[in-house]
Amino acid sequence: FSKSVEDALRHFADVLWLGQSPLADWAEVRAESHVERGKRLQKILREAVQSLRPDGERPPEPLPREWYNYVTLHDAYIKNAPNREVMSRLYVSEGTFHRTRRQAVRGVARWLVERKNAGRL
């Protein structure tokens, strides 16, 4: 399931792709067209990434560790910043960046499952 979530995040800006994605099927996103379906899934994904955001304003760099999961997904997928740029912002190695991203994607996947199980997706 995490793979489907990561694929959807990688295509975050492409509402056509999102509208036809397996994640949209899993989330049972309903809309009048696949474009609208993609926009709804995009909104859900944005909310899921936002759920990782710590309280308060984003501090100046270097960012505290509690911001890593949110910044990794938000900057790489929502803002479409290159991975190298995100790594330099976080002052982390490529390996640490990929581990952080995997952990954050698992967090988003879990949030999605919990919301769907609660009937609030």
Q: What is the pLDDT of residues 38-95, one digit of tens each?
A: 999 999 999 999 999 999 999 998 899 999 999 999 999 999 999 999 999 999 999 9
120 falls in which pLDDT band (50, 70, 90)?
very high
The CA distances from residue 31 to 6, 16, 38, 75, 110, in Å, are 22, 13, 9, 28, 24
Report the pLDDT value the prediction gives residue 61, as an integer from 0 to 100: 87
pTM of the full structure? 0.94
4 falls in which pLDDT band (50, 70, 90)?
very high
